[in-house]
Structure 1
Amino acid sequence: MAQKPSIPKGTRDFNPEQVAKRNYIFSTIKSQFQTFGFQPIETPSFENSDTLMGKYGEEGDRLIFKILNSGDYLKGLDDSFYRNIFLVKVRINNGYDALVEFFKRNPEIAKSCDNEDYMSKELMTFDWFHNEDFLLLGFRKDYVLYKLTKVYFESNLGENGSLQEGIKSLFVKEAVERYLKNVSNKTTSKISEKALRYDLTVPFARYVVQHQNEIDFPFKRYQMQPVWRADRPQKGRFREFYQCDADVVGSDSLWQEVEFIQLYDNVFSALGLKGTTIKINNRKILSGIAEVIGASDKLIDFTVALDKLDKIGEEKVKEEMLGRGIPQNGIDKLQPLFSLSGTFEAQIESLKGILSTSDDGNKGIEELDFINNAISTLGLQTATLQLDVTLARGLNYYTGAIFEVSAPEGVKMGSIGGGGRYADLTGVFGLKNVSGVGISFGLDRIYLVLEELGLFPETIAKSTEVMFINFGDKEALFSLQAIKTLRESGINAELYPDKITNGKHMKKQMNYANKRNIPFVVLVGDEEMNNNLYTLKNMKSGEQSKVSLDEVIAKVK
């Protein structure tokens, strides 16, 4: 039985037209990268796992695609790891069954258990409780006693099986998860030592440290390569996709931020994507706000909630902040922030009042003010620079400016670009205090926006400009001599490979040219070869004429 063809979820095939459109975006971005003085580098599609793991937070680590080591290690794994998991589950289930039976057979003991110490002593009578499986799980006996007692006192014995379910949930879920966690590091090294890159930035940091003696700082690099994430596929979000990054490392200068704003503007203007908004914030502003409201120790909680302001609204954000442990009096101090509006300059003035007591906040205001003044003087072609104090992308990652670019109004799409300043990206690889700033373009989302707005030039998908009809071997050889000259003149030309036999297949060749939107077809027979002429047919108008090769070149160009 034939295998049904398929591709993994979150990946895509691209037809010739789509590839041509993607290449148009690539070449436009690449051209601007080079105009601004960035140099290209490439890094491997996969890195050592320890290069990537722990750099993106718990959620990011979960989305990293790991590569299995080669070799027949799975058999040994089955004989140890999975067998232990099975035995743990059996032991746990037996344990909770025994506990439930104990309570059912000794209701008087259960009823007299009015304190946790007494309950613990009774639980110690179970043989299974002293089994070495608990050592395998990494549980301490006092922890298990506490948890079991807690489950008992929070359940109603004999009603709807709540006690059984509570103990089963505790044992089977928590115990096995704990076992998995205890052995994960050791097992992972046996299974996988490499992983597909999650982004281009961490591999770039590794590259800088590894090649630091070959690099002239400040180092301006651009990189356009695919990355992989085990994410849930949806519109504009894929498991395999390209990133187009530009970074500068080895400079604290704010002129780099100014240039990146100009770079964004140049790229989107060159693509015809007018009306994009370049949002900017500063990590120091967010730190200052958290300090002012007395939530410096809850900076992450504060910003995660604040970042949702445009999605869930002011009241829901306040509720979430309360739920995350931010005090009400601190939230009350945020009121001016929720109503922050107006021009960039007006918002800066409001922030000065809100953050007057914060050194971090004032530093952030100074940096934003510098960038805005420079852009106001230099001007932008089609983009708008906007201050957004709720912007907190990559909070753990960035230490200064934060960027995010949104599509023109009316287009429902997430950010089409983003980036920011990081103070010590290379420090994790041993090279301390190397500041950098970088931005990224979301190729796939930019593609969807250009498609929705009809902004791809019509000539993008043009491949072959002239196709020669194949009447036979003699005519084909004559045609290929002309095709060689056309190609040398910069014209895309080809010969239909299969010749016409017994007067057939002429229509097939013409239909082929039409389906591929080839604008010109050339017919060469005995008459044309004898007179060194070519019958050139315009496939759009239907007009045809006998012309010289030079005239073919002139008409097609």
Structure 2
Amino acid sequence: MSKSKPTLPRGTRDFGPEVSAKRSYIIEKIKQNFVRYGFSQLETPAMENLSTLTGKYGDEGDQLLFKILNSGDYLSKTSEEDYGKGSKHLTSKIADKGLRYDLTVPFARFVVMNQHDISFPFKRFQIQPVWRADRPQKGRYREFYQCDADIVGSKAIWNEVELTLLFNDVFSDLRLDDYVIKVNHREMLFMLANYVGLEGKEVPFCAEIDKLDKIGSDKVIENVLALGGDKEKVSAVMSLLEETDKEVLISKVKAINPENEGVQEVIEFFESLDQFNDKDLKVELDLSLARGLSYYTGMIYEVKPTSVQMGSICGGGRYDNLTGVFGLDGISGIGISFGLDRIYDVMEELNLFPEDITQPLDILIVHFSEVNLKHGQKVVMQLREAGIKADLYPASDKIKKQFNYADKIQTPHTLVIGDNEMKSGEYMLKNMQSGEQKPMKVDEIIQLFKG
């Protein structure tokens, strides 16, 4: 039998010890803040029934669902006629499950199935992988993690405020200062569409506005005029989109329609944030932000790094009737998602990971004989029980080989055990960088490392 070279499916990745340690560091900081803000952890299965997933992401999303073949003889219930009807029909006969495409639809399904056991408002976070049968390319994978937090069952503007504070606290813990939280409101965008004379064409108007940073204002004006917008009013709206002073911007938008729900909520949102000025919040009102408007119904968020060329690293917004597709109407929610892979790339580029994050050990115990090895087994467990990351070279190989291994794994310290050390109870602790070494008792070593 010929041996084949092992490969990975396209769009998937291995994460070695260093990358895994750095990803875990980010996840842990996010998770700690989720818990601190009162979110409960939720996990859903990797697979869902296709009836749960299909029709929730549009035609394009349905095409990107990974389908799972039914177990057993999955072709036994098919006929030649089924093959002739094409792959879409055939798939319905041979696959009734699929890998989850995101964390939001499974969350909605969970809420509906557990509605009588849940206390609303319900705050949940979820950190799990999702799968999309997308065409792999730089920055786009078929398997990737999402880190989501949602609050359902409340329309209070405090939800929008505390999720903004949550963004701030996570990035503060990650020591990532170079970012801006951009916010906007769907109702304000729709109000602007009506103002320029595009009632009934709000979504196409917003789609053009969203292209501002890609194609420039002249082209956006041209496209909006082509939709039928009033020239003078379109020009006025463009000046609003380029306004950077928040107070001036709110004042001008309010002048168009002070009764607009979006205007009122944005004013209340910023007034609430004012009491947290000590946090140096990096929040901007950006009327050109128009992400996900087929999904979001209120406030929308996008977080972008400011010192690294990168798209958004987080996003989210208010949505109404999340659970309506499963028969439970009237449940409003708001959610945000941290982009783990992009946050990783930004932190790597800015060199923000702690130096010791990839250091698997504090001490490696090396020894001269089988008897020393046996003695080392008790010592290593003493160190571990004291919370020190310690390991024991597992075989009585030549001491030079053991030190070579210590160099390769870049352990900062070695502890040498020989016959004399066993008798005295003092072991030679060696700093592998400086070469400095000192005989120490186990309790002294513990005190040194525990500070």
Q: Normalising TM by the smaller chain, what interval?
A: over 0.9
Q: 2:117 aligns with which of 214, 228, 246?
A: 214
Deviation at 1:81, TM superposition (A): 4.2
Deviation at 1:321, TM superposition (A): 4.0
Is the 8 Å Cα contact of residues 533 and 549 (structure 1) preserved in structure 2?
yes
Name the SS for the 2:159 alignment partner: helix
Q: Note the residue ranges of structure 1 that are not aligned, 5 or more in a row.
A: 85-178
Alignment of 1:309-320 (within 5 A): 309-320=212-223
Name the SS for the 2:323 alignment partner: helix
Q: 1:350 aligns with which of 231, 234, 252?
A: 252
Deviations 1:296-345 (A, max 9, x none): 3222222222111111112222344466xx11x43552212222212222
Task: With the length of structure 1 as denominator, give the TM-score of the two structures.
Answer: 0.77
Alignment of 1:463-542 (within 5 A): 463-500=360-397, 505-542=398-435
Alignment of 1:237-276 (within 5 A): 237-276=140-179
| Residue 330 (str. 1) matches residue 331 (str. 2) | no
Is the 8 Å Cα contact of residues 299 and 317 (structure 2) preserved in structure 1?
yes
Deviation at 1:260, TM superposition (A): 0.5
Q: Note the residue ranges of structure 2 that are not aligned, 5 or more in a row.
A: none
Q: 1:543 aligns with which of 436, 440, 447?
A: 436
Name the SS for the 1:395 alignment partner: coil
Alignment root-mean-square deviation, CA? 1.9
Deviations 1:26-45 (A, max 9, x none): 11111111111111111111
| Residue 363 (str. 1) matches residue 261 (str. 2) | yes
More helix by share: 1
| Structure 1 letter corresponding to 2:247 | E
Query: Using a 3 Å threshold, how does the CA distance of structure 1 residues 332 and 194 change in structure 2: closer, same or farther?
Result: farther
Name the SS for the 1:456 alignment partner: coil
More strand by share: 2
2:290 corresponds in structure 1 to 392
More displaced 10-residue stretch of structure 1: 313-322 or 33-42: 313-322
Deviation at 1:479, TM superposition (A): 0.6
Is the 8 Å Cα contact of residues 274 and 383 (structure 1) preserved in structure 2?
no
Deviation at 1:286, TM superposition (A): 1.8
Q: 2:90 aligns with which of 187, 195, 203?
A: 187
Determine which structure has more spread, i.e. the larger CA radius of gyration: 1
Name the SS for the 2:15 alignment partner: coil
Q: 1:446 aligns with which of 317, 320, 343?
A: 343
1:51 corresponds in structure 2 to 52
Deviation at 1:450, TM superposition (A): 0.5
Is the 8 Å Cα contact of residues 269 and 382 (structure 1) preserved in structure 2?
no
Name the SS for the 1:296 alignment partner: coil
| Residue 403 (str. 1) matches residue 296 (str. 2) | no
Task: With the length of structure 2 as denominator, give the TM-score of the two structures.
Answer: 0.94
Aligned residues: 447
Identity over the aligned pairs, expressed in percent?
50
Q: 2:313 aligns with which of 416, 422, 425?
A: 416
More displaced 10-residue stretch of structure 1: 443-452 or 458-467: 458-467
| Residue 298 (str. 1) matches residue 201 (str. 2) | yes
Cα distance in 2 between the residues matched to 1:249 and 1:31: 20
Deviations 1:65-114 (A, max 9, x none): 222222334487584444x3xxxxxxxxxxxxxxxxxxxxxxxxxxxxxx
Q: 1:224 aligns with which of 127, 132, 135?
A: 127
Deviations 1:11-68 (A, max 9, x none): 1101111111111111111111111111111111111112111112222222222222
Alignment of 1:89-168 (within 5 A): none
Is the 8 Å Cα contact of residues 26 and 340 (structure 2) preserved in structure 1?
yes
